[in-house]
């Protein structure tokens, strides 16, 4: 008997019973569901929620694989065991050793994210008696890409439980949540365990452990530096122009420390084009977020720095003084614009609302980045803030359209 037949028999056996959602989820994960719509439908299409989620996962996989190589590369580079890679195709980057180290550190994050998150999804499906929703398929992939490589697995598990329960299930499940679940998980980690989510040690595999060993006197090795470019600018304001030897191409290709999936802007742009081509991601939100970030960068660079309002000794000078376009190459603004802000559930739904929503995300993200040197990144906070205001934005856009049409009717009636 084939696996498909066995699963079908189990599905029929547990049909109408409490555990039915669990077996149905396993069956539909492996095979297409055999149910069809019985009533009249307005739109007929081949895609469904599972296909949509799988499309987003395909756009994320290159970032995941690159993140594995980069995790190993940054680990060996910080220990001075390898030479700096000569560009994106450098021989010292695409090596099996880098991949093995990266896979050893990142794949457990993926396993915990999916294992714990789907367990919570199954639990609520069985308790509430509804089918398991596919919404966590993307969230489970996003979570490992937006956290440091060495975050303890138990912390991630606790955060995933919090994010799925508080960020989604209490609102009614997939399609009902007002906050992005992946960013809710990251927010919980940031506020509950800040030492594991910021600083210059958490972004390179082994740096925290090595630093603790040196502090305890059990190692005579030098400490490993894992400082990101954002952190360098924020902490060295007076010398912001010459902080690191990282060039723009390294920033663009992703040969820098950072969260697992945020570093390679090249792959993020490729993912954005793929999502736009498949009509999964909103190009309006992506473009407006970038425009908002550039606008805020221009305000800081030419409206404040060039006019001399802020002195070079100010703690805000570093991130204000960088070229406005460099904000797109450092940090996670592009990753957030492509994969987070475009979440169709928590984003604005109207076309005009998408422009406003995205622009404010980029604008506020750079503002938080500059004015918070202790944590020079504000993308996830900006997106969560605008998640809350997205319904309000859509409300006023719709009301504005209603008023325009009412005016037209009055003019015609006159």
Q: How many distinct structural domains can be found in the chain?
A: 1
Q: Where are the alpha helices (DSSP H) in 226-264?
A: 229-235, 248-253
| Residue 307 is assigned to a structural domain of this protein | yes
Tokens for 145?
A: 């890409």
The stretch 77-92 carries a mean pLDDT of: 75
Backbone angles phi, psi at 313, to 5 degrees: -85, -5
| Residue 292 is assigned to a structural domain of this protein | yes
Q: What is the pLDDT of residue 160?
A: 95
The stretch 42-66 carries a mean pLDDT of: 80
pLDDT at 242 > cutoff 50:
no
| Residue 207 is assigned to a structural domain of this protein | yes
| Residue 349 is assigned to a structural domain of this protein | yes
Sequence-ordered list of residues with C-beta below 8 angstroms from that of 14, at least 6 positions apart, any chain: 20, 23
The span from the CA of 183 to the CA of 383, in Å, is 8
Q: What's the length of the chain? A: 414
Per-residue confidence band for 241, with pLDDT thresholds at 50, 70 and 90: very low
Per-residue confidence band for 238, with pLDDT thresholds at 50, 70 and 90: very low
pLDDT at 240 > cutoff 50:
no
The span from the CA of 395 to the CA of 411, in Å, is 25
Conformational region of residue 201, where left means phi above 0, alpha means psi within -120 to 50, and beta covers everything else? alpha
| Residue 150 is assigned to a structural domain of this protein | yes
| Residue 235 is assigned to a structural domain of this protein | yes
Burial of 247 by CB count in 10 Å (0-12 exposed, 13-18 middle, 19+ buried)? exposed
If you average pLDDT over each of 169-178, 206-215, 283-292, which comes out highest?
A: 283-292
Range of the domain at 279: 49-394
| Residue 413 is assigned to a structural domain of this protein | no
Q: What is the pLDDT of residue 12?
A: 60
Q: What is the pLDDT of residue 65?
A: 95
Q: What is the pLDDT of residue 292?
A: 96
pLDDT at 2 > cutoff 50:
yes
The stretch 343-358 carries a mean pLDDT of: 93
Which of 45-49, 158-162, 389-393 bottoms out in mean pLDDT, i.e. has the lowest? 45-49
The span from the CA of 182 to the CA of 279, in Å, is 21
The more confident residue out of 97 and 243 is 97
Q: What is the DSSP letter of 200?
A: S
pLDDT at 31 > cutoff 80:
no
Q: What is the pLDDT of residue 27?
A: 54
The alpha carbon of residue 121 and the mean position of all alpha carbons in its chain are separated, in whole angstroms, by 20
CB atoms within 10 A of CB 191: 9
Q: What is the pLDDT of residue 284?
A: 95
Which of 255-264, 321-330, 370-379 bottoms out in mean pLDDT, i.e. has the lowest? 370-379
| Residue 5 is assigned to a structural domain of this protein | no
């Amino acid at each position: 008997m084939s696996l498909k037949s066995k699963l079908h028999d189990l599905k029929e056996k547990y049909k109408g019973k409490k555990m039915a959602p669990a077996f149905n989820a396993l069956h539909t994960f492996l095979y297409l569901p055999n149910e069809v719509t019985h009533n009249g439908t307005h739109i007929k299409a081949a895609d469904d929620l599972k296909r949509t989620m799988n499309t987003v996962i395909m756009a994320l996989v290159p970032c995941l694989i690159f993140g594995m190589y980069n995790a190993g590369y940054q680990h060996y580079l910080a220990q001075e065991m390898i030479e700096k890679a000569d560009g994106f195709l450098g021989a010292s980057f695409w090596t099996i050793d880098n991949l093995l180290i990266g896979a050893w550190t990142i794949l457990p994050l993926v396993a915990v994210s999916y294992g714990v998150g789907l367990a919570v999804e199954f639990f609520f499906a069985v308790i509430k008696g509804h089918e398991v929703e596919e919404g966590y398929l993307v969230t489970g992939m996003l979570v490992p890409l937006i956290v440091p490589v060495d975050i303890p697995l138990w912390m991630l598990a606790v955060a995933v439980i919090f994010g799925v329960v508080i960020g989604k299930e209490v609102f009614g499940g997939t399609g009902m949540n007002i906050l992005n679940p992946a960013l809710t998980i990251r927010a919980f980690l940031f506020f509950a365990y800040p030492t594991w989510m910021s600083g210059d040690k958490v972004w390179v595999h082994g740096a925290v452990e090595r630093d603790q060993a040196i502090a305890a006197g059990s190692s005579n090795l030098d400490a490993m530096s894992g400082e990101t470019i954002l952190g360098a600018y924020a902490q060295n304001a007076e010398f912001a122009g010459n902080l690191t030897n990282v060039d723009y191409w390294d920033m663009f290709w992703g040969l820098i420390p950072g969260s697992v999936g945020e570093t390679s802007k090249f792959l993020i742009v490729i993912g954005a084009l793929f999502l736009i081509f498949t009509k999964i991601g909103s190009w309006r939100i992506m473009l407006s977020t970038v425009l908002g970030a550039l606008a805020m960068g221009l305000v800081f660079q030419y409206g404040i720095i060039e006019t001399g309002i802020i002195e070079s000794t100010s703690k805000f000078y570093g991130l204000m003084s960088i070229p406005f376009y460099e904000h797109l190459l450092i940090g996670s603004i592009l990753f957030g614009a492509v994969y987070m802000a475009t979440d169709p559930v928590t984003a604005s739904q109207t076309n005009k609302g998408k422009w406003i929503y995205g622009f404010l995300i980029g604008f506020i993200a750079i503002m938080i980045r500059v004015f918070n040197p202790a944590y020079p990144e504000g993308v996830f906070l900006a997106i969560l803030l605008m998640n809350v205001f997205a319904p309000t934005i859509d409300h006023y856009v719709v009301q504005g359209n209603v008023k325009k049409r009412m005016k037209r009717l009055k003019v015609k009636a006159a």
